[in-house]
């Protein structure tokens, strides 16, 4: 069987035929070069207006990288025609296997983009003996295509979240769809200002915005302001994950400070290495950690009291009636405010200031996928970490859309993956 026969089976291009196949330069990694020719009498397609136009002249032969096989790199060789177009002038033709000035075939780019979902970009480049830059461009192409073809109908609930993508307080605002039937990343914006979130609503459009039923968010003021202004009909829910993480932060602060005090005063350093014990839910502790926790609870420490306050607050989420839940909240806040532990008092004041929004949690109960925002937050952080090597907003944005956006792909992409 000839290579040409295989190529005709898997990747036929209308108006073009495969010619002879030979080995590439012997001083380079093993490669096969496949000649591509335009069919006799066929017209080139104008890259400006996509219409068939008469030929003008030929350019020098170019190499287009195709999907490698058995460790052998595959290149198509083709001399692009220039066409004489009455509307666009003399321009280079558009070919079906590659876009613009790209030296990689489209199928190869989709192939790399597919693998870049399963492996890190660096690993993908290593496995397929290509460069990080080429993997990046492939993913970028896939994301552009997917974003242009994405279906945004039927979005009822969204979650707004922020993550840090660089050291030094550089934030991204992420908007997710968190409906039961579809969970995905919808939009990524730079910073976490009011203008950022306004940017989302501008992109999302007024018609889709009025159809929103629930918007989940943190207590971050910029977000709350914009949500109230742009999606006033939707119920703004403060989500459990964010509120509990404010509490965890407070405990962390108390613990770190108290641990230092114990050491400096020469007491038994009972708080060293207890960070995770105090932050984890009791049901997630290992047996050894359980023993340490039981031991720790005997001490009348500020960190322990904060921990108990946090654990007590978990009952809040179990209520079904908003009335009872609010009574619980008020009592809890009173206790926290009397605790004389400043970080916990800060949390209590914050919760009191957002009483109405907190009660919305109970209105939305059951309608929202509760763990969705937290799940996405973790995945987004992991994506940013795995995609290390780029420190720019653009690259982080592309990596996030690629892994979390559930973007559509053209039919043919799965043929090679």
Q: State the residues that interact with Zn ion by CB under 5 A.
A: 46, 48-49, 85, 87-88
Q: Are 89 and 47 within 8 A, CB to CB? A: no
CB of 97 to Zn ion, least distance (A): 20
Residue with Cβ nearer Zn ion (54 or 410): 54
Residue 161, both tokens: 């979240």
Residue with Cβ nearer Zn ion (46 or 231): 46
Distance CA 188, CA 171 (A): 11
CB of 95 to Zn ion, least distance (A): 15
Residue with Cβ nearer Zn ion (92 or 219): 92
CB of 184 to Zn ion, least distance (A): 37
Residue with Cβ nearer Zn ion (35 or 51): 51
CB of 14 to Zn ion, least distance (A): 19
Residue with Cβ nearer Zn ion (19 or 54): 54
Residue with Cβ nearer Zn ion (21 or 88): 88
Q: Are 21 and 4 within 8 A, CB to CB? A: yes
Element (H, E) at 77: strand 72-85
Residue with Cβ nearer Zn ion (49 or 382): 49
What residues are paired with 36 via a beta bridge?
18
CB of 96 to Zn ion, least distance (A): 16
215 φ, ψ to 5°? -130, 120
Distance CA 341, CA 349 (A): 12
Q: Are 196 and 190 within 8 A, CB to CB? A: yes
CB of 369 to Zn ion, least distance (A): 49
Q: Are 81 and 58 within 8 A, CB to CB? A: yes
Q: Are 102 and 78 within 8 A, CB to CB? A: no
Distance CA 192, CA 171 (A): 6
CB of 94 to Zn ion, least distance (A): 9
Residue 20, both tokens: 């002879």
Q: Are 183 and 374 within 8 A, CB to CB? A: no
């Amino acid at each position: 069987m000839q290579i040409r026969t295989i190529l005709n089976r898997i990747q036929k291009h209308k108006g073009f035929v495969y010619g002879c196949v030979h080995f590439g330069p012997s001083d380079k990694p093993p490669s096969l070069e496949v000649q591509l020719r335009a069919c006799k009498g066929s017209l080139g397609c104008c890259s400006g207006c996509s219409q068939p136009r008469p030929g003008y002249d030929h350019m020098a032969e170019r190499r287009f990288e195709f999907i490698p096989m058995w460790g052998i790199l595959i290149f198509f060789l083709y001399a692009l025609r220039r066409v004489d177009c009455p509307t666009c002038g003399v321009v280079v033709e558009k070919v079906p296997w590659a876009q613009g000035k790209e030296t990689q075939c489209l199928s190869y780019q989709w192939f790399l983009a597919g693998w870049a979902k399963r492996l890190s970009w660096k690993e993908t480049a290593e496995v397929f003996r290509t460069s990080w830059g080429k993997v990046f461009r492939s993913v970028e192409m896939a994301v552009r295509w997917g974003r242009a073809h994405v279906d945004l109908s039927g979005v009822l609930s969204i979650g707004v979240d922020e993550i840090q993508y660089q050291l030094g307080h550089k934030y991204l605002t992420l908007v997710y769809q968190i409906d039961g039937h579809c969970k995905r990343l919808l939009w990524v914006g730079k910073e976490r200002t009011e203008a950022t979130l306004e940017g989302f609503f501008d992109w999302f459009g007024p018609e889709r915005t009025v159809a929103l039923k629930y918007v989940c968010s943190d207590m971050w003021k910029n977000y709350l302001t914009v949500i109230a202004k742009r999606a006033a009909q939707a119920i703004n829910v403060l989500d459990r994950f964010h509120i509990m993480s404010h509490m965890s932060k407070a405990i962390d602060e108390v613990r770190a400070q108290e641990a230092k005090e114990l050491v400096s005063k020469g007491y038994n350093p009972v708080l060293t290495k207890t960070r995770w014990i105090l932050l984890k839910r009791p049901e997630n502790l290992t047996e050894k950690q359980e023993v340490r926790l039981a031991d720790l609870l005997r001490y009348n420490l500020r960190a322990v009291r904060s921990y108990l306050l946090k654990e007590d607050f978990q009952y809040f989420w179990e209520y079904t009636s908003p009335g009872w839940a609010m009574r619980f909240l008020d009592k809890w806040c009173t206790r926290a405010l009397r605790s004389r532990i400043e970080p916990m008092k800060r949390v209590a004041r914050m919760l009191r200031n957002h009483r109405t929004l907190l009660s919305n949690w109970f209105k939305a109960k059951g309608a929202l996928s509760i763990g969705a925002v937290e799940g996405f937050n973790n995945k987004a952080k992991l994506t940013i970490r795995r995609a290390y090597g780029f420190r720019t907003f653009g690259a982080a944005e592309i990596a996030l859309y690629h892994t979390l956006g559930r973007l559509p792909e053209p039919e043919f992409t799965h043929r090679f993956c």
